[in-house]
Amino acid sequence: MGKRFPFFMFLWIFLYCFIFISGYTSVGIIPDKVYIEGIEIGGLTKQEALGKVKEYFSHINFTYQNFYCSFTPEELGIEIDYESSFKLLEDRQILQRVEMNFQDTHFTLVKRFDLNKLERTLKLIGEGINKPAQNAAFEIIDGQPVAKPESRGTKLEEEILLKKITDGALKNHYIIPVGVVEPSITAKELEELKPFSLLGQYTTKFVKNYNRTENIKLACEAIKNTLLAPGEVFSFNDVVGPREEERGYLTAMVIQGGEFVPGLGGGVCQVSSTLYNCVLSAGLEIVERHRHSLPVGYVPPGQDATVVYGLKDFKFKNNTQRYLLLDYHIEDQNLTIFVFGSKEKAA
């Protein structure tokens, strides 16, 4: 009968292997199967691993299709505590260290979030992502309304992205979650209520004055292709907006306090007055209209419509069963405004 392998020799070999394996981490080398936030750091010293992880998270990138932006963790509002993170690895018990040599071990970074800063940064990302939906619209081509198809918009799913960043493992690249914004008017809806008839038009003549002419053109461009649904009320001030220098309006003569004085947006009232007479010729319902304090030369007495942003408005209602569409044309010093629609009145 052969000699038995001495038990103390077996115990010695076991202890030797145990000490050798456990010493694998004690000399500063991280076992092969260790990961932190998904980054493999096995076989590296602590300093090498620390450098690798810091480099990986030096910037956090966000992409959506052709859109790209990048921020440091600090810019995002993320504070990463690298020392505490690696201390979790170093403070493992001896048996846990041994296990690290034989199975995958995953750590997460110790991190804190400045939610206010993070939300502000996400809003910046949203500025590059958010795109309003475009409603189907009509434009006048060769004197006829032609439908332009609608298009969807996009919107950053801010809460979803915030949750991805704060609830899951930190990444250095995020695919931006984007939602679809549906248009409120489709081409199909437009076709069903297409403004196929010229309901009314009116022409006024304006004087040769550069500033006044530019103001008239700006206001006309604002109302061009305006589409009104059945029952909708048109507000000149809402559509044209404030007459401000920052928006391109120039100084020309206006009526103020019962006299003609220089003022921003001079000439805009000729547009509102021309539109007023066009609307009258179309038989539409007038909701609000104000007269000038002095006679004006571009329309007959009593047929003017003055507007003052925030004070006096010109409004009319689409009292037909189809959409209304506004358009204009300028030739020489003649301004003509058109309204397209249907002669069928609402029930």
- State the Cα angle at 40 between 99 and 50, rounded to 5°: 100
The pLDDT tens digits for 288-326 are: 999 998 889 999 999 999 999 999 999 999 999 888 999
Residue 12 has pLDDT above 70, yes or no: no
The pLDDT tens digits for 170-199 are: 999 999 999 999 998 888 887 777 767 889
How sure is the predictor about 23, in pLDDT bands with cuts at 50, 70 and 90? very low
The pLDDT tens digits for 236-249 are: 999 999 999 999 99
Q: What's the CA gap between 287 and 175, in Å, rounded?
A: 50
Instruction: Return the closest-CA partner of residue 200 out of 86, 40, 18, 336.
Output: 336
For the chain, give the longest Cα–Cα distance. 133
- pLDDT, position 260: 84
Tokens representing residue 270 in the block: 């000729």
Tokens representing residue 112 in the block: 């804190």
How sure is the predictor about 25, in pLDDT bands with cuts at 50, 70 and 90? very low
Q: What's the CA gap between 39 and 35, in Å, rounded?
A: 5
- CB of 128 within 8 A of CB of 69? yes
Judge residue 182's burial from the number of C-beta atoms within 10 Å of its C-beta, 0-12 exposed, 13-18 middle, 19 or more buried. exposed
pLDDT: which is higher, 108 or 63: 63
Looking at residues 94-105, what average pLDDT do you find?
68
pLDDT: which is higher, 331 or 93: 331
Residue ranges of alpha helices (H) inside 141-263 are 158-167, 187-192, 210-223, 236-240
The percentage of the chain sitting over the pLDDT mark of 90, rounded to a whole number, equals: 59
Query: What phi and psi values does residue 141 have, to the nearest 5 degrees?
Result: -125, 120
Length of the chain in residues, anyone?
347
Instruction: Return the closest-CA partner of residue 242 out of 259, 225, 260, 218.
Output: 218
Paired residues of 157 in beta bridges:
none
